[in-house]
């Protein structure tokens, strides 16, 4: 009976432990699985022709003739879309005219200055031209045909005025005529109805296809290309074809979302058949192709991590981690050696040990502020370095952060070396120091490496200690110990809180986090490999 109870209890214990391990694995998969799945989409995805164009422009990757060929293939369909929009736009959106009139005025004023006209004469003539510009802008804004025609007639009266004769400003009149022709057969009341809807469609099409080839290059790289990934492109396609709209059903109730087909919204206009056209020829416009973007791990990114990869971040994280290990390893081992081998067990030692344990529990942001106050503002300037955050300060801070872990692990490892080893060495006449270096340390090394593994993972993932001491959100690849660096941990934080771009590129955000996890796994694997190797050698194999 007694035996049976014990047997059952044993069985229950086995089942419970197995269940908890299974639960842990399930949780691990539930947490890491979706993250890795989404993160891997930063590297494996279907790219559009825009992506290949960007790779060619920024990194000279890919075959130029092949990509040019693809671009010209898709250009055929794009031209049709642009043509449709332009035809519809002319009477609706007069920004185009406003921009042109502003440009003419600017050129006119430059021309006058170039011709050496100064002072009162210059301001007199400029004032006159400005008057015309203002009138024309008014005409472009107006919804009243009679008023527009009258303004244009008024402007035409100034034709041949000596103040603007033979200058760029005569183009005003050509523009005014062009505008008169445009609105001649156009129903101006449509303008209000469609202006906003058209703007929406235009901006969506621009996001999908990128700027037109005849447009001036946008200032930021992220605006120079359309949707580079098929998943983003599909999302945009949905937005182009279906318009989301919130409709009030009855007063006092929340509004309800409705989807409206855009071709019904633009029914009866030139744009009506544009939307089915885009949907039908979507593959020919985007030319999707499966891509393995391994350069994600070496590429630099554009501002806000919109395009590109995490190369500098990986490098920065590696440098910080390795340097922190270089600092902490000797410090930790020597302190542990003192605590085990030299110090005698007394009150002071107990206090020191307690301090180390407390240090291990201090929040990491405290170390960050300590690093700022000590390493950045005092320690490094004391040795003649610049009083600015840098890699050196950050890795020293990380070393201090992980020092307690290292000391505790080394202490345990050194203590667990069999006393007989040491006694044999001492008995052969070796000194204390020699015994420690040649006998105790090698035997304790696997245990110390366990400490290294624990610290590695902690150091690579920390954000708070390096926030004030050496990490930056934007910066080039570090050139020296005294420059700042980007890191994976701070980078993923930056995407999450900084820019609205972060909401547009979730794959990059997940990609960065997954890269960090992979990096830590790799570093750990290396350390475990070495530990196993040393262990085998100690066993005498």
Partner 1 sequence: MKRIIVCGLIMLILVLATGAIAAEKQTLQIVGSTTVGPIADAFAETFNNKYPNLDITIKKTGSGDGAAALLDGRCDIAIMSRFMKDKEFKNAVSKGIFPVPHVVAMDGVCVVVHPSNPVKELTSDQVRDIYMGKITNWKQVGGADLKIVIISRDTSSGTYETFHKLLMKKKEMVKTVEYVNSNPQAHARVKTTKGAIGYIGIGFLDANVKALKLDGVMPSRETIASGTFPLARPLFMFTNGYPKLGSMTHKFCSFYLSEMGQEIVEAKGFVPVTNY
Site string for partner 1, 97-136 (x = CB under 8 A): ----------------------------------------
Pull the structure tokens for residue 523: 């570093």
Closer to partner 1 by Cβ: residue 182 or 248: 248
Of residues 82, 34, 389, 343, the one with CA closest to residue 212: 82
Rounded least distance, CB 481 to partner 1, Å: 5
Closer to partner 1 by Cβ: residue 62 or 506: 506
Q: Which region, judged by CB under 8 A, interacts with partner 1, from 38-46, 120-128, 266-274, 498-506?
A: 498-506
331 binds partner 1 (CB under 8 A): no
246 binds partner 1 (CB under 8 A): yes
498 binds partner 1 (CB under 8 A): yes
Rounded least distance, CB 245 to partner 1, Å: 9
527 binds partner 1 (CB under 8 A): no
257 binds partner 1 (CB under 8 A): yes
The Cα-based distances of 104 to 16, 101, 111, 140, 168 in angstroms read: 82, 5, 10, 15, 7
Rounded least distance, CB 236 to partner 1, Å: 13
The correct pick among 14, 154, 196, 248 for binding partner 1 (CB under 8 A) is 248
Cβ atoms of residues 80 and 284 within 8 Å: no
256 binds partner 1 (CB under 8 A): yes
220 binds partner 1 (CB under 8 A): yes
Closer to partner 1 by Cβ: residue 377 or 430: 377
Long-range contacts of 99-103 (CB under 8 A, 24+ apart): 100/175, 101/133, 101/136, 101/137, 101/140, 101/172, 101/175, 102/133
Q: In whole angstroms, what is the distance from residue 24 CA to residue 7 CA?
A: 26
Q: In whole angstroms, what is the distance from residue 298 CA to residue 205 CA?
A: 31
Closer to partner 1 by Cβ: residue 157 or 500: 500
Rounded least distance, CB 384 to partner 1, Å: 11
One-character DSSP codes across 172-199: HHHHHHHHHHHHHT--THHHHHHHHHHH
Pull the structure tokens for residue 217: 């290059």
Residue partners of 511: CB distance under 8 A and separation at least 6: 39, 40, 41, 42, 43, 296, 309, 310
Closer to partner 1 by Cβ: residue 256 or 522: 256
313 binds partner 1 (CB under 8 A): no
Beta bridge mates, 247: 256
The correct pick among 71, 322, 352, 454 for binding partner 1 (CB under 8 A) is 322
Site string for partner 1, 373-412 (x = CB under 8 A): ---xx---------xxx-x---------------------
* Residue 265, burial from CB neighbour count under 10 angstroms (0-12, 13-18, 19+): middle
Q: Which region, judged by CB under 8 A, interacts with partner 1, from 36-44, 152-160, 300-308, 359-367?
A: 300-308
Q: Which region, judged by CB under 8 A, interacts with partner 1, from 135-143, 318-326, 338-346, 414-422?
A: 318-326
499 binds partner 1 (CB under 8 A): yes
14 binds partner 1 (CB under 8 A): no
The Cα-based distances of 196 to 102, 192, 264 in angstroms read: 23, 8, 16
Rounded least distance, CB 65 to partner 1, Å: 26
Q: Which region, judged by CB under 8 A, interacts with partner 1, from 185-193, 277-285, 338-346, 463-471?
A: 463-471
244 binds partner 1 (CB under 8 A): yes
162 binds partner 1 (CB under 8 A): no
Q: In whole angstroms, what is the distance from residue 292 CA to residue 70 CA?
A: 19
Rg of the chain's alpha carbons, rounded to an integer? 35
494 binds partner 1 (CB under 8 A): yes
Give, in degrees to the nearest 5, the angle at Cα 377 between 375 and 383.
70
91 binds partner 1 (CB under 8 A): no
What kind and span of H or E run contains 129?
A: helix 119-141
Q: In whole angstroms, what is the distance from residue 395 CA to residue 393 CA?
A: 6
The correct pick among 473, 506, 517, 524 for binding partner 1 (CB under 8 A) is 473
3-state secondary structure 44-89: EEEECHHHHHHHHHHHCCCCHHHHHHHHHHHHHHHHHHHHHHHHHH
Closer to partner 1 by Cβ: residue 56 or 221: 221
Of residues 341, 323, 348, 367, the one with CA closest to residue 482: 323
496 binds partner 1 (CB under 8 A): yes
Footprint of partner 1 (CB under 8 A):
218-221, 223, 244, 246, 248, 251-257, 302-304, 319, 322-323, 326, 376-377, 387-389, 391, 467-468, 471-476, 478-484, 494, 496-503
């Amino acid at each position: 009976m007694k035996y049976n109870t014990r047997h059952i209890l044993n069985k229950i214990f086995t089942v419970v432990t197995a269940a908890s391990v299974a639960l842990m694995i399930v949780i691990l998969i539930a947490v890491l699985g979706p993250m890795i799945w989404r993160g891997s989409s930063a590297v494996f995805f279907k790219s559009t022709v825009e992506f290949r164009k960007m790779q060619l422009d920024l990194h000279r990757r890919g075959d130029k003739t092949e990509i040019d060929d693809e671009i010209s293939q898709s250009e055929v369909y794009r031209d049709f879309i642009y043509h449709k929009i332009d035809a519809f736009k002319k009477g609706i959106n007069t920004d185009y005219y406003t921009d042109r009139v502003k440009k003419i005025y600017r050129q006119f004023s430059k021309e006058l200055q170039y011709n050496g006209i100064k002072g009162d004469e210059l301001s007199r003539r400029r004032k006159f031209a400005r008057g015309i510009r203002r009138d024309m802008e008014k005409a472009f804004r107006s919804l009243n045909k009679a008023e527009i025609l009258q303004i244009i007639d008024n402007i035409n009266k100034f034709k041949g005025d000596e103040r603007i004769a033979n200058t760029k400003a005569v183009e005003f009149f050509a523009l005014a005529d062009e505008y008169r022709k445009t609105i001649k057969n156009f129903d101006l009341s449509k303008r209000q109805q469609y202006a906003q809807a058209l703007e929406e469609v235009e901006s969506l099409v621009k996001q999908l296809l990128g700027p037109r080839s005849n447009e001036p290059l946008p200032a930021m790289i992220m605006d120079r290309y359309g949707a580079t990934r098929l998943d983003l492109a599909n999302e945009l396609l949905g937005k182009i074809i279906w318009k989301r709209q919130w409709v009030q059903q009855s007063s006092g109730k929340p509004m309800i979302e409705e989807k409206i087909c855009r071709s019904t919204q633009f029914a009866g206009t030139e744009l009506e058949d544009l939307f089915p056209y885009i949907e039908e020829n979507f593959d020919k416009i985007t030319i999707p192709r499966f891509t393995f973007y391994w350069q994600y791990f070496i590429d630099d990114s554009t501002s806000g991590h919109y395009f590109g990869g995490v190369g500098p971040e990986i490098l920065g994280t590696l440098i910080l981690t390795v340097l922190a290990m270089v600092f902490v390893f000797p410090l930790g081992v020597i302190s542990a050696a003192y605590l085990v081998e030299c110090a005698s067990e007394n009150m002071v030692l107990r206090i020191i040990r307690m301090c180390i344990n407390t240090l291990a529990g201090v929040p990491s942001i405290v170390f960050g502020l300590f690093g700022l106050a000590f390493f950045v503002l005092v320690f490094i300037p004391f040795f003649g370095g610049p009083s600015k955050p840098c890699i050196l300060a950050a890795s020293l801070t990380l070393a201090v952060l992980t020092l307690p872990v290292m000391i505790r692990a080394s202490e345990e490892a050194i203590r667990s070396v069999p006393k007989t080893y040491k006694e044999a060495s001492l008995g052969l006449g070796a000194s204390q120091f020699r015994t420690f270096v040649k006998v105790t340390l090698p035997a304790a090394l696997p245990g110390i490496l366990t400490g290294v593994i624990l610290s590695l993972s902690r150091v690579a993932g920390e954000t708070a200690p390096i926030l004030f001491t050496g990490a930056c959100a934007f910066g080039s690849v570090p050139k020296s110990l005294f420059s700042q660096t980007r890191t994976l941990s701070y980078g993923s934080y930056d995407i999450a809180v900084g820019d609205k771009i972060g909401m547009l590129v979730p794959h990059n955000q997940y990609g960065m986090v997954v890269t960090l996890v992979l990096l830590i796994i790799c570093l750990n694997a290396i350390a475990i490999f070495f530990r196993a190797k040393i262990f085998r050698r100690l066993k005498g194999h």
